[in-house]
Structure 1
Amino acid sequence: MVSQLETQATGSNRHSYTIGGLIQVFTSPYRSFFTNVMAQALGIAGQGRTVLVVQFLKGGIGQGHEHPVKLGQNLDWLRCDLPRCIDTAEIEDTEMLALLDLWRYTQSVVAEGKYSLVVLDELSLAINFGLIPETEVLAFLENRPCHVDVILTGPEVSESIRNVADQITELRRSDRP
C-alpha cells in the first residue's frame, strides 16, 4: 500500500512523503494455521483493493494460474496445478514444473502492479524444501512495485526474509483452555 502524505506549511513550502508497501511474515510450526491472514485478505478485497492469494504447495484440484478462483471482484486465489498437496522436498518432475510455473506467473503479475496485496502462502516451506530459491524470493521482494503489500506465510522463515520484513507475527497454540 502506498500513501502520499502532504503537509501544509506556511508560505509556498509543501512536503510530500511516500510510504511504501509492507512485507509481513506470519509464521507458525503448524501448517493450515493462517486463517487470520485469509481473513485479512478478504477484508482488504472487500474494501475495494485488489488481492492475490497464491498457495504454492496446495494442490489436488487441478487449478494452476490459468484457472484462478475469483472471490468477489477483487480477490484472485491460485493453487498450484498439482494432483496433491506437497509435504516433502521429494516431488515429481511434473510437480516441480507446475510449481515453478506458478512462481514465474506470480512474479510476472506482481511486477505489473495489478494487485495491492499479495499473499504467498507456505512460501517459506517451498524455500526450505529447496523448491524455490531464496535468492529469487529476496529479489522479488526488493523489486516489487512500491505500492504492493506482501504477506508470506509458513513455518521456519529464514533470517534473510525476516530481515526484510516490516512485521513478523509468530503464531502458536496456547495450552490454556
Structure 2
Amino acid sequence: MQIETPPTERSSPKPDGERRGLVLVHTGDGKGKSTAAFGLALRAHGRGKPVHIYQFMKVPSARFGEHRVFAQLGLPIEGLGDGFSWKSRDLDHSAQLAREGWARAAARISAGEHFLVVLDEIMYPLRYGWIPLDEVLRTLRERPSHVHVVLTGRQAPQELRELADTVTEMRAEKHHFQAGVPAQRGIED
C-alpha cells in the first residue's frame, strides 16, 4: 500500500445546482446492492424522513435480518413476491404478484408523501417482462420532484441507467461462494 499525504484542499468543485429527488440504481453481479439501498433508507429514516421499502422477490411474511431491525425502528418494508423464480410453484402467479406490487409502489412514488422509496430487486420482474419497463420509466419521470427512488438488482436495463442520476455497478472481485463457503445468516440475509 502506498501512503498518501491527506489533501488539505477540496479536490472537486462544490456543486451549485438545486437539490431535488434522485433516481439511484444499484446494479451489477457483485454483493451489496440491497445493502447499499438499505443504508440510504436508514440514513433518511434517521433524519426523520418518510421512507418505504418494497422487496419484489421476498414474500410478505419474510423475517430476514433487515425485516427484524426495520420493524424495531418503525421503517416499513414490504415483501411483494413469492421468492426467486427457481423457487416458484406458479410463475404466472409470481408475475401477477409483481404487477400488483408495482401498482402499489408506483402509487406511493406518485403520491409524493415519501422522501425515499426503495424498489429492491425490481430488475428481476423487469427482465422477466412481468413489469413493463415503460411504466417504470414514466413513473420515475413523472414523480414529484422531491421524491428519491432507489432501484436494485442485476442487469439494470440501459434505458433505466440513462434516466438515473446515479448508477453504481457492483462488481465481485472475490466471493466466498467461490471457495465453497455457503450463505450465512446476518451476511446474506
Q: TM-score range by the shorter chain?
A: 0.7 to 0.9
SS in structure 2 of the partner of residue 19 of structure 1: coil
More strand by share: 1
SS in structure 1 of the partner of residue 53 of structure 2: strand
User: Quick one: distance in 2 between partners of 1:29 and 1:89?
Assistant: 22
C-alpha deviations, 1:70-105, integer Å up to 9, x for none?
4534x21111153x3335899433332222111111
User: Quick one: distance in 1 between partners of 2:155 and 2:79?
Assistant: 21
More helix by share: 2
Which letter maps to 2:44? Answer: I
Report the alpha carbon displacement of residue 32 of structure 1 after superposing the two structures with TM: 6.6
Report percent identity of matched pairs. Answer: 29
Worse-matched range after superposition: 157-166 or 167-176: 167-176
2:121 maps to which residue?
Answer: 122
CA contact 1:125–1:155 (8 Å) conserved in 2: yes
Does 1:43 find its partner at 2:64? no
SS in structure 2 of the partner of residue 119 of structure 1: strand
Which letter maps to 2:34? Answer: F
SS in structure 2 of the partner of residue 48 of structure 1: coil
Distance verdict in 2 for CA 1:94–1:37, change over 3 Å:
same
User: Quick one: distance in 2 between partners of 1:99 and 1:169?
Assistant: 24
Report the alpha carbon displacement of residue 176 of structure 1 after superposing the two structures with TM: 9.7
2:73 maps to which residue?
Answer: 72
C-alpha deviations, 1:123-173, integer Å up to 9, x for none?
122111111111011001011111000111111111110111111111112
TM norm structure 1: 0.75
Report the alpha carbon displacement of residue 31 of structure 1 after superposing the two structures with TM: 6.7
Unaligned runs of 5+ in 2: 1-16, 64-69, 177-189
Distance verdict in 2 for CA 1:87–1:175, change over 3 Å:
same
User: Quick one: distance in 1 between partners of 2:126 and 2:88?
Assistant: 10
Report the alpha carbon displacement of residue 119 of structure 1 after superposing the two structures with TM: 0.8
Report the alpha carbon displacement of residue 33 of structure 1 after superposing the two structures with TM: 4.5
1:146 maps to which residue?
Answer: 145
Unaligned runs of 5+ in 1: 1-16, 64-68
Between 1 and 2, higher relative CO (CA 8 Å, sep ≥ 6) is seen in 2
CA contact 2:30–2:172 (8 Å) conserved in 1: no
CA contact 2:54–2:119 (8 Å) conserved in 1: yes
Distance verdict in 2 for CA 1:89–1:59, change over 3 Å:
closer
User: Quick one: distance in 1 between partners of 2:48 and 2:112?
Assistant: 15
Pairs aligned (count): 154
User: Quick one: distance in 2 between partners of 1:88 and 1:29?
Assistant: 20
Which letter maps to 2:80? Answer: C
Report the alpha carbon displacement of residue 174 of structure 1 after superposing the two structures with TM: 2.4
CA contact 2:60–2:78 (8 Å) conserved in 1: no
The aligned runs of 1:92-131 (5 Å cut-off) are 92-131=91-130
Distance verdict in 2 for CA 1:58–1:42, change over 3 Å:
same
CA contact 1:58–1:86 (8 Å) conserved in 2: no
